[in-house]
Amino acid sequence: MSQTVFPENFLWGGATAANQLEGAYLADGKGLSVADAMPGGKIRFEVLGSPEFDWTIDEEKYVYPNHKGISYYEHFKEDIALFAEMGFKCYRFSIAWSRIFPQGDELEPNEAGLKFYDQVIDECLKYGIEPVITISHYEMPLNLAKKYGGWKNRELIAFYERYAKVVLTRFHRKVKYWMTFNEINSALHFPALSQGMVLSNGAGDFKNIAQAWHNQFVASSLAVKIGHELDPDLKIGCMIIYATTYSLDANPVNQAATMEQNQIFNYYCADVQVRGEYPGYTNRFLNSRGVKFEDLDITKEDLDLLKAYPVDYVGFSYYMSSAVTVTGDESDTVAGNLLGGVRNPFLKASEWGWQIDPVGLRIALNELYNRYQKPVFVVENGLGAVDEITAEGQIIDDYRIDYLRAHIEQMAKAIEDGVDLMGYTPWGCIDLVSASTGEMSKRYGFIYVDLDDKIEGSGKRMKKKSFDWYKQVIATNGADLA
């Protein structure tokens, strides 16, 4: 067996989000979240993006797969036991804000919601699995979107602060790793998920998006402050979508456009959260969208807080890269994880059209680490694919193994490049509801869950071929990828 370059304490694991697997959407006092108002199917973004959409839930017209998820709320013990069987060192999951503060603006938390996460955390610790918690992953209480207009409203800072204080205080003795907001930069393309804003409550005006980001930056710093006051050893990170971005050719004009896209999409939020100040290109970026920095509601106290409480590490999701041209055929586009791009002729795409690029992960790791000089953590990566069950009852997902292997090989190279990489938590380690399409049939897991897009089926869990493969990867600390 070859030698590993992965450090001894490398955090191998998997990642999920509450709204995509827990189900039990009204159990034990939970309130509705924005995810509960998102219909299932490829029409999801079309519905959310229509000017009429006002967060109304219409069960006559649509299916809402997140309401049931994979019933993890009832099955978490059995599911975590399977993660333990794979040898997980950590498990990234999120807390549903609406289980803790059902409406978001209450003064007192819902004890039943906290008790559920007590149990989830204890179940992880029982197996020596380190919990890694995302405080807010696309699931703010629906009331905050409807009544307050989402994150553009400054009042949300205090609501988030109260929520973060409750969960950090309750769990900090058992949970060392945290992230403040999932994919905070995704709002550039789709503010419904992370900012609770759609066209009918202000998403059409970029000033609202920029203001919402600012409010989230302040909230993120407050969470870091609370966490570090409880325990200076807590590690509290940001979490961004990262798509390594290439110019389609060597034309300097396209290179410059690529640089701008990188700054706007990949770096803007992380620059503020990691360095604690707005980057130099802020005015150019905001002006290009018709917004002036001085028109935003930003106080001196806010800026002091950002500076005083930056994040400890850089968490990011990586599924695909993106290509840019302003001189070539801009109409030959491909789909992507919220952000698409023009077709890169050197890459193949997944069944959902995301262009697969393992080498881009090595580049991403180097770019992020060298820009920030803080530890980096790949907290999402994976292949969404349709899985078939053979006549013998097996799921031979070699395509998924190939995808993950190629990405792990590039992580190893990045470590050899000198990158301080904390861990790897592939997305949807157990099949769950897709965020962008609300489908179950877009599967990422090592564990198959027998449910269809309407969440009909037995719900039975089955190990895929990738289950044993990943178990071996972890057991050998990344030495045996065969």
Which 229-268 residues touch ligand BG6, going by CB under 6 A?
241
Residue 164 Cβ vs ligand BG6, minimum distance, rounded to whole Å: 19
Residue from 149, 384, 445, 478 binding ligand BG6 (CB under 6 A): 384
3-class DSSP state of 68: coil
| Residue of 108, 97, 107 whose CA lies nearest to 32 | 97
Residue with smaller CB distance to ligand BG6, 42 or 172: 42
Give CA–CA dist 67/69, Å, rounded. 6
3-class DSSP state of 274: helix
Residue 353 Cβ vs ligand BG6, minimum distance, rounded to whole Å: 11
Tokens in use for 369? 């680490």
Give CA–CA dist 23/229, Å, rounded. 34
Residue 320 Cβ vs ligand BG6, minimum distance, rounded to whole Å: 10
Extended beta strands in 294-438, E state: 313-317, 322-324, 333-334, 341-342, 376-380, 421-424
Which 113-152 residues touch ligand BG6, going by CB under 6 A?
138
DSSP label at 203? T
Residue 464 Cβ vs ligand BG6, minimum distance, rounded to whole Å: 17
Residue with smaller CB distance to ligand BG6, 141 or 445: 445
Residue 290 Cβ vs ligand BG6, minimum distance, rounded to whole Å: 27
* Segment interacting with ligand BG6 (CB under 6 A) among 109-117, 209-217, 242-250, 434-442: 434-442
Residue from 22, 79, 357, 380 binding ligand BG6 (CB under 6 A): 380
Site membership for ligand BG6, residue 436 (CB under 6 A): yes
Residue 301 known to be catalytic: no
Residue with smaller CB distance to ligand BG6, 262 or 337: 337
Q: Which of 130, 139, 183, 380 is catalytic?
A: 380
Residue type for position 119: Q
Site membership for ligand BG6, residue 431 (CB under 6 A): no
Tokens in use for 76? 């978490």
Contact 120, 80 (CB under 8 A): yes
3-class DSSP state of 219: helix
Residue with smaller CB distance to ligand BG6, 183 or 271: 183
Residue 374 Cβ vs ligand BG6, minimum distance, rounded to whole Å: 21
Residue with smaller CB distance to ligand BG6, 133 or 298: 133
Residue with smaller CB distance to ligand BG6, 220 or 317: 317
Contact 19, 137 (CB under 8 A): yes
Tokens in use for 213? 């980001």
The end-to-end CA distance of the chain, in Å, is 10
Residue with smaller CB distance to ligand BG6, 296 or 385: 385
The site string for ligand BG6 over 147-186 (x = CB under 6 A, - otherwise) reads: -----------------------------------xx---
| Chain-centre distance for alpha carbon 137 | 6
Which 78-97 residues touch ligand BG6, going by CB under 6 A?
none
Phi, psi of 160 (to 5 degrees): -65, -40
Give CA–CA dist 243/355, Å, rounded. 10
Residue from 258, 317, 350, 425 binding ligand BG6 (CB under 6 A): 317
* Segment interacting with ligand BG6 (CB under 6 A) among 43-51, 101-109, 168-176, 432-440: 432-440
Angle (deg, nearest 10), helices 358-372 and 398-417: 30
Give CA–CA dist 242/317, Å, rounded. 6
Q: Give the number of other CB atoms < 10 A from CB of residue 84.
A: 16
Which positions are catalytic? 380
Residues in the site for ligand BG6, rule: CB under 6 A? 17, 20, 138, 182-183, 241, 317, 337, 380, 384, 427, 434-436, 442
